[in-house]
Amino acid sequence: MTIVEALKWANEKLKTESNDSSDSPMLDAQVLLAAVLKISTSKLFLSFNNHLKNEDLEKFRLFIKRRLKREPVAYIVGEKEFYGRKFLVNPHTLIPRPATETLVEAAVKIARETQDKILFADIGTGSGAIAVSLAAETKIPVIASDVDPTTLATAKKNAEVHEVNEIIDFKIGPLLDPLKKIFEVLQKTGEDKNFDHLIICANLPYLATEQWQTTAPDIHLYEPKLALEAGADGLDLYWEMLRDLKKHRSLFPARISLLLEIDPDQKEKIATLIKRDFLDSKIVILKDLDGFDRVAIIAI
């Protein structure tokens, strides 16, 4: 079977036999076959008439079988591109989305437009996509934390792959707890004066329970609920983090920029939460590449 014949076969299978149907069958087939052959999709187009080896065809058929069950392509191939870099992903990690690039771009912009001595923090780092991107783009130190040790192990691997592991400090623990412990130590040693601007980035779970229950099978059946769902309105973890930040505000540098990824429908609610704890804070809402309200930037 040639490459073009394999792609046509896979496209038809995914169009007609996938549970709830695949949204982009030909693209899925191209990405999966390119992964099997360990070539880029662009090179795939130049090899349409090449015949597949039996072992490659068998592996491709297994990949298509997994995709027919709506397993995400990123989990099948084991990686996902984000902010121009490829990241290792697995069922323990949320798959990085293009919308989150808006948060990274905004954080990088803030860092580049100030002369402050900056420290980044990535709360709920997951695959490490945000932390690694920030470190690679700016060469500024990052504290990256997560509650899941398996997830954190994947983030560490991604940092090593992109050669920024020496400027990212990975910590296990919920929300701000690891960051608080670090600054408690820094205050005792006087090293907290090394930073006068803390940029906290958080893409925490923000789907309401009802939203999560009605997500596409790719998400609902395969991606970790721990990284997606956060209570009745989806804001449980942001509420907890903001309350904790207010309580321990004196631990941290004089200037804090807080960047939160949100659901577009949470724009008003997140503003209310922020103003409750930080009445004088300035809030800006950024739209993602698709035009949806996606990132809240808060100057505290």
Closest CA to 263 of 233, 297, 226: 233
- Beta strand 85-88 with 79-82 is antiparallel
Residue 52 exposure: Cα atoms within 13 Å on the Cβ side: 22
Question: What pTM was computed for the model?
Answer: 0.94
What are the backbone angles phi and psi of residue 299, rounded to the nearest 5°? -95, 115
Cα 65 to the chain's mean position, in Å?
Answer: 27
pLDDT recorded at residue 19: 63
The answer to whether 49 and 93 have CB atoms below 8 angstroms apart is no
At residue 188, what is the residue type? K
pLDDT over 90 percentage in the chain = 93
The answer to whether 270 and 235 have CB atoms below 8 angstroms apart is yes
CA dihedral sign, ordered 239, 243, 244, 245? positive
Domains of the chain: 3-70 (1.10.8.10), 92-299 (3.40.50.150)
* CA distances in angstroms from 172 to 133, 148, 150, 166, 237, listed in the order given: 20, 7, 10, 17, 16
How much is the mean pLDDT over the chain?
95
Residues in the chain, pLDDT under 50 = none
Closest CA to 242 of 191, 286, 283: 283
Closest CA to 182 of 216, 213, 145: 145
pLDDT per residue as tens digits for the range 159-212: 999 999 999 999 999 999 999 999 999 999 999 889 999 999 999 999 999 999
**Which residues, 6 or more positions from 262, have their beta carbon under 8 angstroms from its beta carbon?**
206, 238, 270, 293, 294, 295, 296
pLDDT recorded at residue 45: 86
pLDDT recorded at residue 102: 98
pLDDT recorded at residue 46: 87
